């Protein structure tokens, strides 16, 4: 008893019992958690050739699962339903890439001629404009650019680009294989991983899995609808104005729509630049006006209706997630950062609620 009272008195009046001691303990705990998070992120970055295809395959599975379920409810055998969905997805992606390639090849000569004329107009504007840049300074700038392109550093960068292309091809192949098995045996794989868990932990893990698939599926389908509308409106505008490469630019705007806040806007800026170089300032201003109008419509009307509460995150959280994802994994990281953040936040809400609340359904 005496020893117990002594330990109790030490805790009440000892070195760690005052406010500074408790703050020090809390700071040490936070540092340990931060160090663990840094180790996990570092490990994921080192294994990005596996982690990124796995994440993309999971997102595509959440998006395509309703198609597989629809085919199964119509009496199609599970394996055949998986193959139909998988091959249809590959054919759609391959068709888009083929269309872009043929469109670029068909309009490349026209774009080159327009680009040369546009750059000449830009050079005249720079020389005669408000910026005090003479012909000699412009020639020096072009000479420095040519030296950089023909230098050793640029060739080394090209070699790194070839290596990166090989990694991208390997990642695409691995992601396709993972996607097929997720579509075919996703539920079986998930229940296999949950075998060691029981009771409340099992309930929360089941709810976390269901919530993850719901959020990823709703996010990707909603984003695809909004991005498709932006691409169609801007693409039709480019076709009406006879801007070269209208189809590739529309596809680029569609893909940029999967990067919230900035992706579609950057695609619209690129379309406006092509219009400026190829068709002049008036066409560029029309493209900018259409881009601004459709972005405002999507942000204020379409996204709240189509997306619902699939992405219940503040704009600042989305911006920070985009920045962090871009730093860790470049463009792919920026695309994946927002849905992963939304899933992580929802799963955190599940695990911090009481056991009675965890079985009622996914968090609002």
Whole-number Å distance between alpha carbons of 231 and 227: 6
**Better-scored residue on pLDDT, 39 or 169:** 39
Kindly give the interhelix angle for 78-128 and 246-256, rounded to the nearest 10 degrees. Answer: 110
Whole-number Å distance between alpha carbons of 69 and 76: 10
The pLDDT value recorded for residue 31 is 92
pLDDT at 213 over 50: yes
Whole-number Å distance between alpha carbons of 214 and 207: 11
Whole-number Å distance between alpha carbons of 179 and 166: 20
- The three-state secondary structure class of 258 is coil
**CB within 8 Å of 284: residues ≥ 6 apart:** 272, 273, 275, 276
**Better-scored residue on pLDDT, 91 or 302:** 91
Q: Percent of the chain beyond pLDDT 70?
A: 70
pLDDT digits (tens, 9 = 90+) for 5-16: 555 544 555 666
> What's the token pair of residue 27?
């700071």
The pLDDT value recorded for residue 322 is 80
**CB within 8 Å of 308: residues ≥ 6 apart:** 218, 222
Phi-psi region of 362 (alpha: psi -120 to 50; beta: other; left: phi over 0): beta
Cβ atoms within 10 A of the Cβ of 16, count?
12
Q: Provide the mean pLDDT of the chain.
A: 76
- The three-state secondary structure class of 169 is helix
**Where do the structural domains in the chain lie, given as residue ranges?**
1-46, 49-103+137-193, 198-364
pLDDT digits (tens, 9 = 90+) for 290-319: 888 887 777 666 666 655 555 667 777 777
Q: Lowest mean pLDDT of 84-88, 115-119, 334-338, name the range.
A: 115-119
pLDDT at 32 over 90: yes
Whole-number Å distance between alpha carbons of 354 and 200: 10
Phi-psi region of 274 (alpha: psi -120 to 50; beta: other; left: phi over 0): alpha
The pLDDT value recorded for residue 154 is 46
Whole-number Å distance between alpha carbons of 264 and 228: 11
Provide the pLDDT confidence category of residue 129 given band limits of 50, 70 and 90: low
List b or e across 137-167, with b for residues whose CB sees 16 or more CB atoms inside 10 angstroms: eeeeeeeeeeeeeeeeeeeeeeeeeeeeeee
Is the C-alpha dihedral spanning 15, 21, 24, 28 positive or negative? positive
Instruction: State the average pLDDT over residues 114-122.
Output: 63
86-90, 224-228, 304-308: range with highest mean pLDDT: 86-90
Q: Lowest mean pLDDT of 82-96, 98-112, 319-333, name the range.
A: 98-112
Whole-number Å distance between alpha carbons of 58 and 56: 5
Provide the pLDDT confidence category of residue 153 given band limits of 50, 70 and 90: low
pLDDT at 130 over 90: no
The pLDDT value recorded for residue 149 is 47
Q: What is the pTM of this model?
A: 0.69
The pLDDT value recorded for residue 357 is 44
Cβ atoms within 10 A of the Cβ of 352, count?
10
């Amino acid at each position: 008893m005496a020893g117990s009272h002594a330990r109790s008195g030490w805790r009440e009046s000892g070195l760690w019992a005052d406010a500074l001691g408790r703050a020090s303990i809390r700071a040490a705990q936070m540092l340990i958690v931060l160090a663990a998070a840094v180790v996990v992120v570092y490990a994921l970055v080192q294994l990005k050739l596996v982690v990124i295809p796995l994440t993309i395959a999971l997102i595509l599975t959440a998006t395509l699962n309703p198609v597989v379920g629809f085919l199964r409810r119509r009496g199609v055998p599970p394996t055949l339903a998986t193959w139909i969905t998988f091959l249809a997805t590959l054919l759609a992606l391959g068709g888009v890439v083929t269309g872009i390639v043929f469109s670029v090849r068909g309009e490349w000569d026209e774009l080159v001629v327009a680009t040369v004329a546009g750059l000449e107009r830009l050079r005249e504007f720079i020389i005669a404009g408000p910026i005090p840049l003479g012909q000699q300074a412009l020639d020096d700038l072009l000479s420095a650019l040519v030296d950089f392109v023909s230098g050793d550093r640029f060739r080394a960068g090209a070699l790194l680009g070839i290596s990166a292309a090989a990694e991208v091809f390997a990642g695409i192949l691995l992601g396709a294989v993972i996607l097929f098995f997720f579509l075919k045996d996703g539920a079986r794989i998930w229940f296999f991983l949950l075998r060691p868990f029981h009771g409340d932990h099992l309930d929360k893990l089941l709810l976390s899995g269901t919530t993850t698939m719901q959020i990823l599926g709703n996010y990707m389908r909603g984003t695809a609808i909004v991005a498709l509308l932006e691409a169609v409106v801007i693409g039709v505008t480019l076709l009406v104005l006879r801007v070269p490469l209208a189809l590739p630019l529309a596809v680029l705007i569609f893909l940029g729509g999967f990067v919230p806040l900035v992706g579609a806007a950057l695609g619209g800026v690129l379309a406006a630049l092509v219009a400026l170089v190829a068709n002049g300032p008036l066409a560029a201003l029309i493209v900018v006006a259409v881009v601004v109008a459709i972005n405002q419509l999507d942000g204020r009307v379409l996204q709240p209706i189509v997306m619902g509460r699939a992405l219940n995150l503040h704009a600042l959280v989305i911006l920070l997630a985009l920045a962090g994802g871009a730093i860790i994994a470049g463009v792919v990281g920026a695309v994946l950062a927002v849905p992963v953040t939304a899933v992580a936040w929802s799963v955190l809400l599940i695990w911090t609620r009481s056991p009675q609340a965890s079985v009622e359904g996914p968090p609002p």
